[in-house]
Amino acid sequence: MLNSLLRLALETKVKVNYYFSNIYYPWKTYKKSSIDNAFYNDDKLRYRNYSSKDKFINLGAGSTFYHPRWTCLDFYKNGMNKIFPNYIPWDFTLEKPLPGLYKLVYCSHVFEHIPKQSSEKFIDNIFNSMQPGGILRMTLPDADLGYEAYSEGRYDVLQIWENKIAKSGINVDKEYYFEFLLLHCFATSKTWEFTPALAKSIRKAHKILSKSEFLDLLISGINSNVEDGQDHVNWFNYTKLEKLLIDKGFSKVYRSAYGQSKSPAMRDVPLFDEFIPCMTLYIEAVK
């Protein structure tokens, strides 16, 4: 009885946090009924093409995603896994094979937290855990959008990271604030030792390097993440990620968009695709 009450309380907390935890989430301005196509509101319709034995996994799900059919992996240390068996504590830095064979894999704003030297192994593990014909959906910061915003002086595009800066308490010279935001988007650890000299070197490099060379320079020297994995340590645009996925064996890779997965199950907005859509690259790959 007590366990059932705890489960109910935590599920309620998850749902409340899910709907109200971040000012960038679309449900702040739109009702769910106005986002969803009414046809897909019923889970039975969303999952009608899948059998009861098909498995689904969310890599780096956090604590605001909940669906009984989805296994959730993340650095869980808050006891959620003791009440919900589908929450599994997982350290992605150990590069272990995933714990099952899946028809759908969802990975939202996680891949940019994987160090460059570990990114191929991360994709290998995903590929090896998928059933033939399964779909991988990845969302992550679009490096093209970040680069173009910096190149064109569109400060408001990168301004979405200001809430993190405010919480950090770091005092940044306003003249170099744009460079600070850029690093927060792609190379978070370098913001902790941010100086005007670093900002000037970024400006100089931007004038003489190609886009990929410039973005590689931003993340250069970053070989690991912090203990909780929160730093951004890598960059991807569609071209770079498409090549990696094809090289790892996926039969088909295509650009997607907000709420536009080929699978109805992953078109359940805002359960999926909820985080900063204005800066996000959406991409899917079929095994």
Peptide bond into 89 cis (omega under 30): no
Tell me the pLDDT of the chain averaged across its residues.
84
Q: How far apart are CA 181 and CA 210, in angstroms?
A: 20
Residues 137 and 151 occupy one common structural domain: no
Q: How far apart are CA 257 and CA 282, in angstroms?
A: 5
- For 285, the token pair is 């790959």
Last residue of a domain, one of 219, 246, 263: 219
- Residue labelled with tokens 């570990």: 118
Residues 6+ apart with CB under 8 A from 96: 90, 125
- For 240, the token pair is 């770079």
Query: Of the ranges 47-61, 69-83, 230-244, which one carries the lowest mean pLDDT score?
Result: 69-83
- 25-66: per-residue pLDDT in tens? 443 444 444 444 555 567 888 999 999 999 999 999 987 788
Most confident of 4-8, 73-77, 83-87, 175-179: 175-179
What is the SS3 assignment for 230?
coil
Q: Domain residues for 90?
A: 2-142+236-286
Mean pLDDT (whole number) for 222-250: 93
Does 226 reside within a domain?
no
pLDDT above 60: residue 13: no
Does 230 reside within a domain?
no
What pLDDT is stored for residue 93 in this prediction? 83
Residue 280: CATH number of its domain: 3.40.50.150
What pLDDT is stored for residue 6 in this prediction? 45
Residues 275 and 201 occupy one common structural domain: no
| Tally of domains in the chain | 2
Say what the pTM is.
0.84
- For 128, the token pair is 């090896």
What pLDDT is stored for residue 248 in this prediction? 97
Q: How far apart are CA 52 and CA 230, in angstroms?
A: 34
Does 225 reside within a domain?
no
The partner residues of 70 in beta bridges, in order of sequence, read: 56
Mean pLDDT (whole number) for 64-79: 84
